Structure 1
Amino acid sequence: MKKIAIAAAIAALSAPVFAQSSVTLWGRINTSVESIKVGNNDRVASMVNNNSRLGFKGTEDLGSGLKASFALEHGLNSDDGRQTSSAFWNREASVQLSGEFGAIRLGRWTPGSYYATADYVSMHNHDTGTSEDKLYSGAGFTQTNKVGYFTPNVNGFNGEFTLHAGEGVDPRGYDVALNYDQGPMHLGAGYSKQGSAKQYAIRGLYELGAFTFGGYAQREESGTPQSPGAKDSRWIGRAAVMYTLGQSEFHLNVGGTKAGAFSFNNGRNGGKQYTVAYNYNLSKRTKVYAFYTAVDASTPNKRDDLNSLAAGIRHNF
C-alpha cells in the first residue's frame, strides 16, 4: 500500500510536466512510376522515391514564453524501403530554444538559403525525384554541425543565420536566409559560403487569382574551376507558373545555366531543364500527379541528358 501511495504521488507531481510536453510523428510517402531515359541509353521503367521521410518532433512549454523543441527526420526510399544515406537521421537532428527573441538551434538541418529560394519556386512536387531542380547550385551548403539563429517574424520579415563548425575536418561554413511573406507577395534571398565556394540567390513569387508566378536567379562561385576550361562562376535561373482550377493544379517551369563553376556534373556542362506537371489534390494531405521533365545538357553525346514521364502518389501524415 505504501509503494502504491508513493507511485501515485510521483505521478501527480509529474502530471503538469507531461501536460506541457508533446511529441508528434509525421512524414511523407511520395512514390512514382516512371519511364526514364538517360543519355543515349534505352528507356527504362522505374519505381522512383521522391524524398520520402519519417520524422519526430516535440515541444515543451517552459513558461514565460520560452519553449524547448527537437526534430528528428529520417530519409527513406519508398521504392525499396532502404534508408537514403549512412546517417539514419540524415534530414534533420536538432534541438532548439525559442521565445520572443526568436530561436537558437543546434544540430543538423537543411540550409535556410535553399528553402528561401529554389525550394520555394519548385511548386509542382517539392523539388524531389527526377523532376527536382537539376541546375540549382549547392555551393557552400552544409547540413551538419551547425548553430543557427532564427529571427521572430516582424511584419512578414524573418531571417536565419547559421554557422557550421568545421571541427578541424573541413572549412567553416556560413548560411544566411531572408524571407518576406505578406499577402500575395513572397520574396526571399539566400547566401552560403564554405571555403572558396559560395552562392547567393534571390527569389520572387506572386499570387494573382488562380495563377502563381515565381522564379529565382542564383550566382555560383566555386573559387577554383573543377574541370579544364570551366569558369569558376556562373548564373543559374528558373521561372515557374502554376494555375489552379478546383482541386487541379497545372504547372510549368523552365531553368537554365551555362557551363562553369562546379555543380551540375562537376562543371562539365551547362544545360536547360523543362517540366510540365499536373496535380490533383484528393485532400489536403494526399494528391495524385503526373509530370514530364527533361534536361538538355551541353555535354557531348548527350551524356548528361535526361527525360522522364511519370505518374505518382504523395501522402503526408
Structure 2
Amino acid sequence: MKKFAIAALVSVVAVPAFAQTVTLWGRFNTTVESVKTGSADRVVKVNSNSSRLGFKGMEDLGGGLKAAFQLEHGFDSDTGNSNAGTQFWGRASNVSLIGNFGEVRLGRWIPGSYFATVDYVSMHNHDTGTSADALASEGTMFNPRSNKVGYFTPKLGNFSAEFDIHAGEGVDARAYDLSVNYDNGPVHYGFGYSKQGTQKQYAIRGLYQLGAFTFGGYYQRETEDTFKANPDRDIGRVSVMYTTGPSEFHVNVGGTKAGGSFGAYGGKQYTFGYNYNLSKRTKVYGYYTAVDRTAPNSVGDSSSLAAGLRHNF
C-alpha cells in the first residue's frame, strides 16, 4: 500500500489542520484455466478473479469524531476492462462519520450479510472467479448495493453488527440487510439476513481454528424468490483448510435443494485447492472446481482446472 499524507497541503492553504490520510490499494488476481461448460468443448481461458483498485481515506475531526470515504473499482485483469458495467466505482462508493457511537455510512457497498456468511467460509480464493460459490442465494451477494444508509456498531465485547437500508427511490423495492459477527479466539460465528420485496434469505455461519486446521460452514434459507416455480430453497457448504509453512490445502463442498434463484433442480459444487504464499501480499495457487446440477438440468454444469497468481498492493 502507498499512503499519501496531505496534512501539509491543508496547512498551506490555511484550512484547519486536521490530520488526513489517503490510501491507494488494490488486488491483481488472475488465473489460467481449462474450462468446460455444459456440453460445449473444453477451452483454455485467462480469467480475472475480482481484481480491484481502491482509494480510502480518513480525517480526524477531533473529539473522537472521524470522517472517512471509500472508492473501489472492479476491473478485469485479463483485459483491462471495467467489470462493473457503467458503474466505474461499482464495488464501493461511500462516505461515513465514525465515532464512539459506531459508524454511519452513505452510498454504495457490498452487503454485510454476504461477508458474514457466504464469503467468510470461501477461504481458498475469497469467493472469486470460477470457484466462487455458485449455489448461494443471489439475495445475499447481489442485494442492492446502491443508494444505501448503513449503521455499523462499535465492537461490543466479541460482537459487531451492521444494518443497511436501500432506498428504492420509486425504481425498485426498498431493501434491508442485517449482519452480526462474533469473534472469540479460535471461534467465529456469523449471521446474515436480507429482504427486498418478496425475496428473503437468512444464513448462519461458523468457523473454528484448531491448530493447523480451520473448519468452516454455513446454512442458508432462501424464500419467496422472484422466480416463483420453486420459491423455497436450502443451501449448505462446508470447508476445511490445512496450513503448513507457506502452504495451504483446501477442500470446499456445497449443496442445494431445488428452487429459488438456482432454478427447478438442485445441485452440488466441489472445490479442491492449493495455495503457496510467497509473501503476505503474493501467492500462487491452483484449484479444481465443478458444479453438478441434478439431472435432467445439466445445462449449467461446469468444471475448471486453474492455476493463478494473486498480488495485493
Do Structure 1 and Structure 2 share a fold, with TM-score over 0.5?
A: yes
Pairwise CA distance, 1:15: 7.6
Unaligned runs of 5+ in 2: 1-8
Q: Give the alignment of 1:300-311 within 5 angstroms.
A: 300=296, 302-311=298-307
Distance 1:58 1:35, change over 3 A: same
- Matching residue of 2:206: 204
- Matching residue of 1:16: 17
- Matching residue of 1:232: 231
Check conservation: 1:268, 1:299, Cα contact below 8 A.
no
Which residue identity does 2:183 align to in structure 1? D
Which residue identity does 2:204 align to in structure 1? I
Q: Which has the larger radius of gyration?
A: 1
Check conservation: 2:292, 2:302, Cα contact below 8 A.
yes
Higher deviation after alignment, 267-276 or 67-76: 267-276
CA distance in 1 between counterparts of 2:45 and 2:11 reads 56
- Matching residue of 1:55: 54
Which residue identity does 1:88 align to in structure 2? F
- Matching residue of 2:247: 248
Equivalent of 1:187, from 183, 186, 189? Answer: 189
Equivalent of 2:285, from 270, 282, 289? Answer: 289
**CA deviation profile, 1:163-194 (whole Å, cap 9, x unmatched):** 00000000000000000011000000000000
Higher deviation after alignment, 185-194 or 293-302: 293-302
- Is the counterpart of residue 101 in structure 1 residue 101 in structure 2? yes
- Matching residue of 1:154: 156
**CA deviation profile, 1:133-172 (whole Å, cap 9, x unmatched):** 0001022711110000000011120000000000000000
SS at match of 1:300: coil
Q: Give me the CA root mean square deviation.
A: 1.6
Number of aligned positions between the proteins: 302
Percent identity over the alignment is: 63
- Matching residue of 1:139: 139
SS at match of 1:16: coil
Q: List structure 1 runs of 4+ shifted beyond 2 angstroms.
A: 12-17, 222-226, 299-302
- Matching residue of 1:313: 309
Unaligned runs of 5+ in 1: 1-7
CA distance in 2 between counterparts of 1:195 and 1:292 reads 37
Pairwise CA distance, 1:9: 12
Pairwise CA distance, 1:270: 1.4
TM-score, normalization: structure 2? 0.93
Check conservation: 1:39, 1:301, Cα contact below 8 A.
no
Which residue identity does 2:239 align to in structure 1? A
Distance 1:177 1:45, change over 3 A: same
CA distance in 2 between counterparts of 1:62 and 1:15 reads 10
- Matching residue of 2:45: 46
